[in-house]
Amino acid sequence: MSLKKLRKRMGCLMLTGAMIFAGSHTALAAEYKANLQQSDLSRESNHSEVGGDKETEPPTEQSESHSESESERQTESETHTSDQEETKVAIDVETETETPTESEPVTDETEEPTSDTEKPNGDDSGDKEKVPQIVDRNDPKDELEQIDHPGREDGQEDHSDANANLTTNIIAGNGIYLSELSGTYYLTFEDHFSKVMDEIEKDFKQWLDKPEQFIARNWQDVLAVYVLRTRETTGNRQITLDQGAKEELEKIFFLMNIRGDSSIAKKLSKEVDLDAEICPLTVKDYAELKNLGAEEKEILDKYTTAECKKLCAVITAAKGFVRGEAGPGVSEERVSIVAAACSLVGKVGYFWGGKSYAIGWDSLWGEPMTVTAGGSKSTGRSRGFGLDCSGFVCWSFYNGLGGTDGGIGNHTTSQWNASEMVESKDAQPGDLVFYDSPEAGDQNHVGLVIGKNADGSLLVAHCSSSRNGVVVGEAWSSGFKYVRRVMSLN
């Protein structure tokens, strides 16, 4: 074969190879674009399924761009430059903002109430643009300190929606607390007994020079003295606290809150604040003044233990008992928030996506309603309307702070971002507790610290999906890992 013919044939072969390579290159680019579009559709579908506490949080810019860039780098070198630019623009737009679909419930925005009662599922029909919540992981305040293990043998219980029992809609009651209070302390409180306590305080303030400065701090001591005196006069161990107990309770309340310059105050062995108008007495002061014996002192001590304080606070939701449970130095803001939280224990059921800005009892609670928020196995079912975990925390703040949520919003992500990390040993009533770190977004569970147990472990109130209602329990064994302090709270 001549050299000229050989060159001609080799040229044809090279041209054919180039055409084949160009064809495969184009097919590869087309396949990449199709896969990317399918991924986008899948991601949008996932974002539209969000629910109450464990809603799917929009990915942050950092995590979104990272996952996309991994596949980008693997394929980009083989695609055309125009395809690169088109893909980059699509990723940038998706990462920066994402507009929810019309049926998508709101996630993390702090919402201002439009009326006394929030829309049942906390759904604003997607009329707000969702902005990814960015958490500064370099902030030393956000170093994740986990809740101390209480040192008991019991394990952690999962109160999340994954363990919800949808075969019944029975609200987790406060029967266990009522039973313990009645069986161990022989006490029964009438519903709304806190109003009796408020009436007594109001009567007392009429005799003060500066009634606005008075805060009743020794109600647990007053109760203990009432129990002792009632047993002495009636011989009954089982005692019911109702409107009929007001007269005797008021006498004891006046006796246990004396003027700082009175002769009684001068008889006490303890130091008295001479600048304060009122000197509150403790059971020890009462025992000293009355020269009580060991058996009588034992009764007084029993009714001022940490366990009795906890039960009285949870059952009555009275600020007077909550202060005793919270201890000295806790602000009235925190006391009011905790009292509001305790008022719903055993009374409001769990409802995925349930929010409320009602002051006091929401008339919708307990009414049959369909769960419309996505992301839960209860979605599409009819249940008695109630609250989800973040809705419960928001309602407690809103009622405790007199019509403002303190900037925490009504979703777990906004509540995490409105707070900062504290060690569990430094936790105070009114602080928040969470199951997971911020990476979980609204796939989280939140509760409220209401006090401490006798062993120093944290006592929390939260709206439990698996128990279908507001319950009280020890923080660690309830599954909580992190304590956060709301930055707007004193």
User: Roughly what angle, to the nearest 10 degrees, separates helices 61-76 and 81-96?
Assistant: 170
**Confidence band (pLDDT; 50, 70, 90) for 411?**
very high
Helix (H, G, I), strand (E, B) or coil at 153: coil
Report d(CA 52, CA 65) in Å as an integer.
27
Helix (H, G, I), strand (E, B) or coil at 448: strand
- pLDDT tens track for 326-337: 988 899 999 999
Q: Are 338 and 451 in contact (CB under 8 A)?
A: yes
Residue whose entry in the numeric block shows the structure tokens 């002769």: 263
As a whole number of Å, the CA-based R_g of the chain is 31
Q: How many residues appear in the chain?
A: 490
Q: Is the pLDDT of residue 9 over 60?
A: no
Q: What one-letter code names the amino acid at 347?
A: K
Q: Is the pLDDT of residue 348 over 70?
A: yes
Helix (H, G, I), strand (E, B) or coil at 369: strand
What are the structure tokens assigned to 339, written together?
Answer: 């009292």
- Closest-CA residue to 327 (of 423, 434, 449): 449
Helix (H, G, I), strand (E, B) or coil at 443: strand
What's the CATH number of domain 101-172+345-490, 3.90.1720.10, 3.40.50.300, 3.80.30.20, 3.90.1010.10? 3.90.1720.10
Report d(CA 482, CA 490) in Å as an integer.
20
Q: What is the DSSP letter of 350?
A: B
What are the structure tokens assigned to 188, written together?
Answer: 């029964």
Average pLDDT of every residue of the chain: 77
Q: Give 3-state DSSP helix, strand, coil % of the chain, rounded to 5.
A: 45, 10, 45
Give CA separation, 308 vs 285, 303, 419, in Å: 19, 6, 31
Q: What is the DSSP letter of 291?
A: T
Report d(CA 37, CA 29) in Å as an integer.
12
Give CA separation, 479 vs 69, 146, 310, 420, in Å: 35, 11, 20, 19
- pLDDT tens track for 236-273: 999 999 999 999 999 999 999 999 989 898 888 888 88
**Sign of torsion over alpha carbons 205, 209, 210, 214:** negative
Q: Are 224 and 255 in contact (CB under 8 A)?
A: no
| H-only helix segments in 327-422 | 332-342, 389-400, 412-417
What is the pTM for the complete model shown? 0.72
Helix (H, G, I), strand (E, B) or coil at 49: coil
Q: Are 96 and 46 in contact (CB under 8 A)?
A: no
Pairing mode, strands 239-241 and 187-189? parallel
- pLDDT tens track for 47-94: 333 344 443 333 333 333 333 333 333 333 333 344 444 433 333 333
Task: Name the residue ranges covered by the structural domains of the chain.
Answer: 3-96, 101-172+345-490, 174-329
Residues sharing a CB contact under 8 Å with residue 219, sequence separation 6 or more, in sequence order:
197, 318, 320, 321, 323, 324
What percentage of the chain has pLDDT greater than the value 70?
67
**Sign of torsion over alpha carbons 86, 91, 97, 103:** positive
- Higher-pLDDT residue of 170 and 100 is 170
pLDDT at 270 (0 to 100): 87
- pLDDT tens track for 151-186: 665 677 767 666 666 666 678 778 888 999 999 999
**Confidence band (pLDDT; 50, 70, 90) for 481?**
very high
Report d(CA 124, CA 102) in Å as an integer.
9
Q: Is the pLDDT of residue 116 over 90?
A: no
pLDDT at 120 (0 to 100): 47
pLDDT at 176 (0 to 100): 86
Q: What is the DSSP letter of 354?
A: -
| H-only helix segments in 125-218 | 175-185, 193-205
Count, in order, helices (H) and strands (E) of the chain.
15, 14
**Confidence band (pLDDT; 50, 70, 90) for 215?**
very high
